[in-house]
Amino acid sequence: MKKKLKYGGFLLCVLTMLSGIVNAQDVYKYSVDLTKVDGDKLAIKLECPKIDTKTINFYLPKIVPGTYMNSNYGKYIQDLKAYDKNGKELAVTKLDDNGWTIRKANKLSTITYLVEDTWDATIDNMVYPMCGTSFEAGKNFIINTPGLFGYFEGLKKMPFQLAFTKPSGFYAATGLRPVETSNTMDLFQCDNADHLYDSPIMFSLPDTTTLKVGNADVLVAVYSPHKLATSKFLAANLEKLLLAARDYLSGKLPVDKYAFIYYFNGEQKKSPITGAWEHSYSSFYALDEQPEKDAIEHWVDISSHEFFHIVTPLTISSREVKEFNFNETVLSKHLWLYEGSTEYYAHHVQAYEGLKTPAQFLNTLSQKITVSRSYYNDTLAFTELSKESAGKWAPQYGNVYQKGALISACLDLYLLKLSNAQYMLKDLKHDLAINYGTDKFFEDDSLFGVIKKLTYPEIGSFLDDYVAGTKPIPYDQFFSMAGIEYIPKETFKEFTIGGVAMMPTAEGNVKLGTKNMNDVGKKLGYKDGDELVSINNVEISLANLEKALTDLYASLKEGDELTIKVKRKSSNGEIEVVTLSGTAAKVEKSRANVLKLMNNPTEEQLKIRNAWLNSCHR
């Protein structure tokens, strides 16, 4: 028997008090009681704006900006009902996964429905966790707004009020500024549907740190159930990044406020996907809970990517982005700019401002070449991938973070080459931002022409060949402009713990595969399916694996003892811990797509390299 949630007027006094903010007929008034969760569902109540037509369609989004997939948030809505001002139920017909038609809409007063959180739902084609919702009663609420709140067809430009009753002491971490707030209530107002869906909120007991970075107030909010991550630690590391970003962007951040909102999953079922979702004044992160010192480098990298989205596409973008259609999949062809250049910025800023070494930066680009050419179609036009990234070419979407970033790296180097090291990608994006800015869009088909006029004819040819065209990028040609040697394949010797495949488990541990095990692994005696417990008395999990191996290899000498403990199923089916012993040895390995600084670059190459990597930090 399904228990029905009751809809009450628990925020009537708040809404009455604030009714003067906007005309009652011209605003959506939503109310949600976070103290009443039943079966991972929340009750939503909407006091509707005045409707003048006899019928109207009510929608939750099918797709939202920055996701490049059809989320179909309407599939998580149950028991949607519409009422007139006397409480009489009006006829409602379901249109599709995301839409409902309401009859006698000119009499419509209230809509109520239940919404199921996406993290725990068993619906096919799951919403990405960073774009979804989670309702943990008394602990934490992830409110990605498109998962809870709908709009009427033709009325997206009206303002929205969101009134939340919350558990005592809970804090709403968001880029929104509350209209009213208390220990048990928050009320927010959004200008329109675009603003609404651009504004995630996380409710929990507060762990927050606020930074002042130049002209911007920056909030860092953390939910980490086992306290493995803290806002103070994250803020200290993000401050370095934000100061670097300020200098990288000509001395001023393009926003006056920003919120980094982190949910570290240490209680719920592990998701096969983790990540983050960018917004104009915030970014939301759904990540696995890990010891902060082990994971901070990855967290800063992903935070850097999301933060730089304030430039693209949140400032520079096409009609398809700025006039986004939430219920038809109409995407731009310029993912190379929105995601690719942003991913490039996220890493380049750290090398340019001295947070990472040139070798670390080049290694990142090297890995992107390898992943791009190993797992994706290198002759697929990037413009075509972009237009169909939520459809036909969805399996190729991951390449926007690989080849997309490499397109920007090569474009950056080519601009420096053509300008005698006086003009680079960040200058081009600055000029594009002046041309367009937050309130003006470009037409998808016109962008290459605009860039060509701002730069050089050769840049137009580059975009035609490697972005709109199907030609693979000749990486050696572009990296050599900065005295960077591109080596397709090189052999080397390094320590190994056996050449075993390392695969994540749902619990955040490391499972081993022995198909390509080398002699070191054979002597140690691994068996397929072993789970790593420790290496030389250092406990191992997925969270610290990379750091543990790096530290191990840095300290090992040939002939040192290796002691590795694994969990293994015994002959009677019980799990036991087995100790494997062996001797450290180097084995010959190979790596592809290596990028190295040339020892004797020409004067021109050195000039471009110094401009590209900012010689003051070399």
Q: What is the pLDDT of residues 276-291, one digit of tens each?
A: 999 999 999 999 998 8
Residue-wise pLDDT tens digits, 139-157? 999 999 999 999 999 999 9
Question: Do 295 and 228 contact (CB within 8 A), yes or no?
Answer: no
| CA dist., res. 114 & res. 5, Å (int) | 8
CATH number, domain of 240, equals 3.30.2010
Question: Do 293 and 137 contact (CB within 8 A), yes or no?
Answer: no
Same domain, 92 and 70: yes
Q: What is the pLDDT of residue 214?
A: 86
For 542, phi and psi rounded to 5 degrees?
Answer: -60, -35
Residue-wise pLDDT tens digits, 554-605? 999 999 999 999 999 988 889 999 999 999 999 988 999 999 999 999 999 9
Residue-wise pLDDT tens digits, 309-346? 999 888 899 999 999 999 999 999 999 999 999 999 99
- 3-class SS at 393? coil
In a domain, 303, yes or no: no
CATH number, domain of 174, equals 2.60.40.3650
For the chain, how many structural domains are there in total?
4
Span of 195-199, 233-237, 515-519 with lowest mean pLDDT: 515-519
In a domain, 188, yes or no: yes
Same domain, 579 and 611: no
Same domain, 423 and 572: no
| DSSP sequence for 404-464 | HHHHHHHHHHHHHHHTTSS--HHHHHHHHHHHS-TT--B-GGGHHHHHHHHS-HHHHHHHH
**Number of Cβ atoms within 10 Å of the Cβ of 344:** 27
**Predicted confidence band at 446 (pLDDT cuts at 50, 70, 90)?**
very high
Same domain, 361 and 254: no
Same domain, 466 and 532: no
Q: Residue 55 pLDDT > 90, yes or no?
A: yes
- 3-class SS at 596? strand
In a domain, 262, yes or no: yes
The pLDDT > 70 percentage for the chain reads 95
In a domain, 252, yes or no: yes
Residue-wise pLDDT tens digits, 146-191? 999 999 999 999 999 999 999 999 999 999 999 999 999 999 999 9
Same domain, 132 and 33: yes
Going by C-alpha positions, the residue among 69, 146, 128 that lies closest to residue 276 is 128
**Predicted confidence band at 269 (pLDDT cuts at 50, 70, 90)?**
confident
Give me the domain span that covers residue 49.
Answer: 12-204
CB burial of 281-306 (b: ≥16 within 10 Å; e: otherwise) equals bbbbbbbbbbebebbbeebbbbbbbb
185 CB contacts (<8 Å, ≥6 apart)? 11, 14, 163, 164, 165, 166
- Range from 47-61, 116-130, 425-439, 540-554 that averages highest in pLDDT: 47-61
Bigger pLDDT: 20 or 154? 154
Going by C-alpha positions, the residue among 168, 177, 167, 77 that lies closest to residue 127 is 77
Say what the pTM is.
0.86
Same domain, 184 and 240: no
Q: Residue 95 pLDDT > 80, yes or no?
A: yes
End-to-end Cα separation, the chain, in angstroms = 68
Q: What is the pLDDT of residue 25?
A: 63
Q: What is the pLDDT of residue 229?
A: 97
Same domain, 292 and 380: no
Give the pLDDT mean for 337-360.
96
Residue type, 159: P
Q: What is the pLDDT of residue 615?
A: 79
Lookup: tokens for 266: 């240490």
Interhelix angle for 341-352 vs 292-308, to 10°?
120
Same domain, 429 and 319: yes
Same domain, 362 and 436: yes
Q: Residue 19 pLDDT > 50, yes or no?
A: no
Domain stop point among 152, 174, 204: 204
In a domain, 80, yes or no: yes
Please tell me what DSSP assigns to residue 549. Answer: H
| Strands 561-569 and 586-597, bridge-based pairing | unpaired
Same domain, 74 and 33: yes
What are the C-alpha distances in Å from 393 to residues 333, 383, 400, 550, 596? 12, 11, 12, 36, 33
In a domain, 1, yes or no: no
Radius of gyration of the chain (CA): 27
The mean pLDDT value of the chain amounts to 93
Domain stop point among 265, 296, 327: 296
Task: For residue 151, list its beta bridge partners.
Answer: 59
**Number of Cβ atoms within 10 Å of the Cβ of 261:** 25
CA atoms within 13 Å, Cβ hemisphere of 141: 28
Please tell me what DSSP assigns to residue 481. Answer: G
Give the pLDDT mean for 348-370.
96
Strand order in the sheet with 151-152: 92-94, 99-103, 55-59, 151-152
CATH number, domain of 475, equals 1.10.390.10
Residue-wise pLDDT tens digits, 97-156? 999 999 999 999 999 999 999 998 888 888 999 999 999 999 999 999 999 999 999 999
Span of 30-44, 60-74, 244-258 with lowest mean pLDDT: 244-258
For 595, phi and psi rounded to 5 degrees?
Answer: -120, 125
Bigger pLDDT: 294 or 95? 95
Q: What is the dihedral of CA 87, 90, 96, 97, to 10 degrees?
A: 10
Q: What is the pLDDT of residue 375?
A: 96
Q: Does the N-terminal peptide bond of residue 313 adopt cis geometry, omega within 30 degrees of 0?
A: yes
Q: Residue 5 pLDDT > 70, yes or no?
A: no
Angle at 15 between CA 85 and CA 138, to 5 degrees: 110
In a domain, 7, yes or no: no
In a domain, 491, yes or no: no
Can you list the positions of beta strands (E) in 441-555?
Answer: 484-495, 501-504, 510-513, 531-535, 538-539
Same domain, 46 and 62: yes
